[in-house]
Structure 1
Amino acid sequence: MKKENFKILFVIKLYKLNNKGVCPINVRITYQGARRENATGYFVEPKLWDSKRQLIISNTSDALNTNAHLELIKQKIKNSYLSILLETDDFEANDIYLKYLGKPLKESEFVVKYFQKYLDKIFKLIGKDLKLATWKKYNYACIQIVGFIKFNYKKNDISLDKINLQFLTEFEYYLKTEQNQSQSTINKAIQRFRRLISIAIAEGFLDKDPFILYKAKKVKKEIVFLTHEELETLEKTQISQSRLSLVKDLFIFCSYTGLAYYEMSNLEKQNIQIGFDKVYWIQMKREKTERQISIPILPKAQEIIEKYSTDNNRIFPLISNQKFNSYLKEIADITGIEKRLTHHTARKTFASTILLYNDVSMEIVSELLGHSNMVITQESYGKVVQKKVSEAMISLSVKLK
């Protein structure tokens, strides 16, 4: 820290002039633009105080004694400043005064240190209440915070009480400009950091929530799914290459079940059960939310299960998500489908073309997709419903002409 940021000044408090004609002398510590002012216990006649020379202009023994004590106070505060400077680079004017008084400094928790302790704590929950993938996401958020603090503050860490609205907006700006991240990725990072801040508030390290006035920028998500005609084109296209034929079948299967990649690749015979309605259902836990999902198997999905059914317990041959999406690009070229196909497109197709466009309610869609709550479904597929309403109204307008 630069010494010019630190200053000690004695000031007299004229408004506290007593009936003896003297007023108190206060000591004011200024550091990094912030002040801490306290009484020294000494008094002076206002006309005898020289503010420039910082002393009492008098040769009386009382005046000389007071001047000596003021100089001693000044020197002790300087020593306290130099001492605390060796201990840490994150302190305030109040900390200097506490050091001068010989009192312990206010206990501060630091952002990176606190984040790392949180990561160590939740790491023990992996395989119990937490997925390794979730822990990695929080760990990545911590790495982003470390990078930002070094970039913005030129420090390895800062105290938690320095987190405010300005910190959050500058962090967002850093991720966007220096890390070149999309708004949706930025929102995820801040969401995870917000979780940490909520815990810090609950544990008493922060008095107020710095997120109160912070508003994340909304991201307009375009739901990419296959229309009925595009799905039909895909189903009818004959593909000779076995690797592409497999991926085509698996994509169609997920378009009629809504299974995510992990659930599809780990589907086993024990997950196929006859339900109360004498129909086959897929019964399993969703990897992302740990929610139990129950999906009735539609005829086209059943055909694909039977096509790949062997003596093995696993239903489908293993294929990595990366290869799956890579092969889908080739399939899109073969079929003439111009949309960017990924495994997730099949899940979106199930929700939109198979369910919502066939008048299945949003509540049932949410249940079949295994969403943790209805809000997620509404935010993702609300526009699909609006489009269907619009099409219905246009059709009705034509009939009423």
Structure 2
Amino acid sequence: MAAGEAQPVFLDEYNSCGNLVRSIPMPVSVSGNNKRLTLPISTSDYTEGYISLSQDGSKLALAGYDADPGTAAVSSVSSTTVKRMVAVVGGDGTVNTATALGAFSGQAVRAAVVDGSGIWVSGGSGGIMYTTLGSTTHVQITNATARSLVVSGGQLYASSTSGAFRLTAVGTGLPATAGQTMVNLPGLPTTGSPYQFLIVNAGSGSDVLYMAHDNLLRKYSLSGGTWISNGAIGIASDKYRAVTGQFNANGTVTLYAIRRNDNATGAGGEIVTLTDSTGYNNDFSAVVPALIVPANDYNVFRSIVMAPDVMAANTVSRKGPVNETADSLSLKLSPNAARERVVVTFNKTNMPHPGIVVTNAAGQIVRQLPPASIQAGQATIDLQGLPKGVYYVTLNDGKKQTTKKLLVL
């Protein structure tokens, strides 16, 4: 694939052990009001594809391009030809890509965040845009550009490299009109390259911050109205690009981060987790990350957020039984990548009456094996006739489910 070419986009849900729970494809064809949403791979721009979780924890938002996979230099195409799209994804996996903007013409679209019906979108020029779900119009609310967007505590925040802006509050609250100002959060760096960030309520408001900045993962605490540095994790070659997490009842913070991301196939990053038990306004530089999703040749990880609440409910308990189920099923695909056929093996003891479904990037079922055709924890799937690309093999008995990606050559 050529650099800058539009590519299919997937929202992959992992449990806390790094097992793939499911993958939600973004549309690659127009269906009613829903448009396409693709993104390019470019080693010169790491700032497209930021995903965000709504403040109420019910929805995800993502920005991209209404373009076919393979569209050349898609970020540089005029927005009159290729609209800049917003996907809003519910906890049940429903995808709404009806929000289309004629903004960021000839420039990258980077991020979106949703709160109720309101949506804020950032890109490579023209500032931050405000729109509403399903709209094709927008209001430019700032002149300065932005990267990742977050709504926390009823306030819109944005990372940026416009002028001296780095991590900013945008206007007051959730602004929807033109002429808003961006103000750096006091005490934070005004140089360097910030990426995704996480603001945590550790007991007295939005008072702990984790930020992927200049290839490191940094922590700050709000004290006396100023953000105080609590140290950093990593070295320059770690290339931290994204971070998410949650505050736990015992006072610790569980973090998940993407690092070692060169935004290229074969160097698309890995996912690590760490638990910050140092507490508010204490140094965390000695905390050691643990790898849970290794790099591979087929994924480029762009951004990471916690799954919506409803999604967590639909997968029963992502911190307990789902982890055990995914491990105990031992789903394996061999070979992977495959050309003519793939052998599926799994632990039949823990799933005696399974079915197997293969879906394509658009979520369409392309192969299906009923329980009667699966013998002794093994089945062979004929791949002949399938176009080259990424597919998903799902093992399901109506109570338990696990999914793995499959590359067809």
Scaled by the length of structure 2, the TM-score of the pair is 0.19
Higher relative contact order (CA 8 A, sep 6+): 2
Q: Whose strand fraction is larger, Structure 1's or Structure 2's?
A: 2
